[in-house]
Structure 1
């Protein structure tokens, strides 16, 4: 390919390359040279190769102080640094920048770094979305914040790590050589930041080396392999890389800085310092102060609600959803047709010339075109239907939705397209046609993940989306989208609200759990078990470790419907007594049987049990045992079944409440228990006689084993072994044991 920025931007992974140079003289003579042993890197890859004159300036281009996320973080850092003084010094700014990242829960992935191999350097937006990055990612991110705030940063690489230096005195000239950098650190002209340590503790920022850190600093300075002064690189022409985004066709295009600023100015600030602080803890309609919830709760919330641009609920791409060719003016009618439980047939979309036919076909034949080629039609839809069925079977939650309406806006410096209203549906194949039908177990819902991310980025709660307009068939799409357009115009933004329809897989089920933690975390964490999980080192408390009262395992087993060995019986006894515990074991060791016994025993004690499992197969095994082997199937309510309608739940509860305990003969039952106790007593007596020590400290079992060994190896010892065995047999009474009398 030709050496053109547009072509190179399409490279998505490193690959071998060569350059062919052809020169023509005026006389028509051609000179051709070929340069081999090169590598073509993707725009976000870097490696320490080509000499310091190339590697250093190339690395400096990844420091992008004008990224919207960098601007927001810098504003927050400046505000924090200015709390005690109107003119913060570089040390204060460095401390504040690291503190801002710590408050966002950012972590550094510490691992072996091989600078001579291509390394992917993530953008600030990608790092903050993932709340994680490599040491180099974090160092580049911090360098961008410092450069944005007028502090001169320097990237310093050792053979295995990266440090970030910064000029503590603006008048000091700092060179690019490792020797000059080390001298500047020792003289106190350069401050040091250890990226991974700074995300854990303020001690990761070192203004002046000394004390216990001196030895560590000296060791790092002695191993420097490359120092990059960002200011020096800028003066030599190493400008920040431009922002990149994929267009609707999946082509990577470059956004000039002026275009990005124009879009952001037109649509309103993409990120503000206030909103940036909110994203880590807040959500739609909340005004809770930053840091109100414990750090572990924030970690749980982040794992439940993905607000990154990787989430199709935030940025719906052509890879994550299929566009349905619905005329914009008929999107509301389309939603009504679906919610009236009418089936919609999908077919490959036609050209734009048949728009009138599309409208008639939708309204009369309930058929709509999917923007897919004839070859893709079956493959994509069949794959989507299979994925939806698998997810439903494994998790009990349907993740197949019709996404109605799109909000086109900017996040982290790039345009994203977020779905607005989600309608749960099923996708079934009927011959050569795929049919979309409403999933009656779910309800149409606004995209709450979008609301959370949009509020975090802009400070605006999309109330028009939080409180949609409803009609007889569900959400009134036209009225809701119009209200959203009006709200955005009133807020001075120019985001585009588009009337579109897409079919895709969206992970939405965890939002409700996130919402519970967001709104009710004080109640949840008041539970003693949850409170223990909040500890830095969760484990058993003293009361759990202390031995309880001795448990009669025979009595426990006597009241269980399924067979249980002593280890299983102990688990049930501990759980019923209220102890918290974790039971582990490989497949086939009786875990599901133990769970079934535990549920049965808890029900017998008047308790209500909720059994939760990650996979439906685990639920099915326990439910089958309880239903078929214990006879309490009518007491089970399957909440996992996505086909359970509200009326089915009511009927199941009504049937359970009407159940009556079967009659039984108390005297006969007591007699059976006495008979069981007698049999158990006989077995226990036999065990005692078999293993209790006797003559010369030997038990009957041990004496017999010794006799067998003597008869086979040492005949001279046999008489003594025989006498010892006879004495043990006579003492235990087992000399008169007749096995034939005990045959089953």
Structure 2
């Protein structure tokens, strides 16, 4: 049998052209705009033609127009080259985003033209984004800690709640001052209890939330809307309570379980090391130590509403090991604020009519705080003060080895060292010199990594070096960030802890120091190889309170 070989017909080559490549957000709302989450995540141009192209103009526009048309001027793009656009900040129309009451599709068009006198269109790219109402929360599947933007402590309804809470305290024979943590944990509990009574007396009724709201999101009622309508979902009530707690100077927490949300509050001026807490054991530990209380806010809609302690007991059951609901995560509102997530701007002041919620009087007797463990502060008098002469003697003994093997003369960074992010080393040294401990934490994803917010856009708008400001704020709380993953930092700290302890036990001397500043030096005047020697050494020690806790650093 004869066989015939037939060659396949050659496929025609696709014409070479200039391409616009863009990645945009699927949804955008006012909270995203205020917190520097960009509409355009990536934007680039690819010249696949055989010639260079010059005098280019790339423009972006939208319909409806929710941002000002944005032009980018490019000198030229060589053949076969890609150009990445770095300036991605679009001037969004915040007023338009604030006026939206329903979701709306917007079409975005990118056009690339060449030539100045008679421009020729080379390429175009079209896509759509969904504009959400100002009160639409996108859910936990997007950026979980963005829910902190919907905690609005500056709403007028929150001010009325705090005034009512002050009245509750006065009637109980206590000070009506809304003074946060100034008088300790017991006072913080009493403030939270008074806020509970103040919200409970408003006569709010429960509204069923949408199915799977914690994942897909929902429209959120502001505190003023809750006060006017008298209706609230579990998330609305939790956000309302968090707003009142934050305005009272307390650090609030928002907990999400399967199909449910409820608030909590720290009883001491602390916060978690990250804004998103996905380990329920971290909450259980703080609750058992009575450093934090969680409470079931939907009980505020009961008639009569129960005592604050009863709501606390119910919330504790929901995070227990026997809980029927699945724990998703918790959001630390205070930590989110430190990471520059701002509250959603309040709506323009409107004359609101009074509804039954303002006239209902459902007050219950104020509940006195239970006994709470007192915080034990280490007395500075108990610490022996080391004389400068003794420090100098110890440093001289460690400088006996004058070869380059000595880390004090030729320091090489490696796995036996940690680089601390301390923009103000003088303040760090002062804290340690006063005998205070500092906590070492991993650097959070602050507008990088998994955080979709744009650091460049934020810094251009706010005129703030976000990393420096965040590190300085942390230093004021005696916290220092380390630019490593949690596992890598833990491994290094444990190795340093064990090595320094062994050296102290066997040799009788501390070998762990904090180096402040380095001197770069060479052995010869014309030698290219440079060595680094620490300038100021502060002897420190590492403390580990338990196998699961973070390591802290103390000055010796």
TM over 0.5: same fold?
Answer: no
Higher fraction of helix: 1
Higher fraction of strand: 2
Question: Larger relative contact order (C-alpha < 8 A, sep ≥ 6)?
Answer: 2
